[in-house]
Amino acid sequence: MTVTEIVPFDKRRSKVILEDDFTLVLYRGEIKRFGIEEGKPLSEETYQEILQEVLLKRARERVLFLLKSSDKTEQELRRKLKDGGYPKEAVDYAINFVKEHRFINDQDYGRRYVEFNSERKSERQIQYELQKKGLDKEVIQEILKEQPVDEEAQIQAYVKKKRLQPEEMDFKERHKVMAALGRKGFSYEAISRVLGGFYDDN
């Protein structure tokens, strides 16, 4: 692997860019210590030395630091490490470490997320957000079966907060409210049970 470029990453670190856009982020003292220079090859032996002595431990510490501030899924942690310039070996090592020590568990994360949000977000919105965080659709559906979201209670709270009188709404007013609730992800069935359908008599 040839070092094609060394560019500043922040005040103390630089990006070491290798062939095929492979990048390492190292402190300037480490670049000097391992004899890394632009235009010169980086041997596999030196790369493994950097990996074992520096990057594996640093990736592990980074993951533990990220988990201190807030709960995260495996996919979120992988993305953070990748964005931080860690190679795949270091990312896999750090993720395996926190999984083995049970610092992360996507199913447990999903259950906590549903429990925390089930009174303020629709089922569809929760499902979308958890899928974005890397949880499988089947796992999310299983969690939602265990911990159902009471959409009707949320819609009733919305109606109360907005001081709406569903029984006094005309077609246009009802359509507007139903559309607003639909954008929040609430199902038509749940909305209809609270507000009545489009064509119900007032």
Phi, psi of 148 (to 5 degrees): -60, 145
> What integer pLDDT is reported at residue 47 of this predicted model?
94
> What's the pTM value of the predicted model, to 2 decimals?
0.78
Contact criterion met (CB below 8 Å) for 111 and 142? no
> What integer pLDDT is reported at residue 199 of this predicted model?
45
> What integer pLDDT is reported at residue 201 of this predicted model?
46
Q: What is the pLDDT of residues 18-67, one digit of tens each?
A: 987 789 999 999 999 999 999 999 999 999 999 999 999 999 999 999 99
> What integer pLDDT is reported at residue 100 of this predicted model?
94
34-41, Cβ contacts within 8 angstroms, sequence gap of 24 or more: 36/3, 36/6, 37/3, 37/6, 38/3, 38/4, 38/5, 38/6, 39/2, 39/3, 39/4, 40/2, 40/3, 41/1, 41/2, 41/3
Name the stretches of the chain with pLDDT < 70.
Answer: 197-202
Q: Which residues of 142-166 are buried (b: 16+ CB within 10 A; e: fewer)?
A: ebbeeeebebeebbeebbeeeebeb
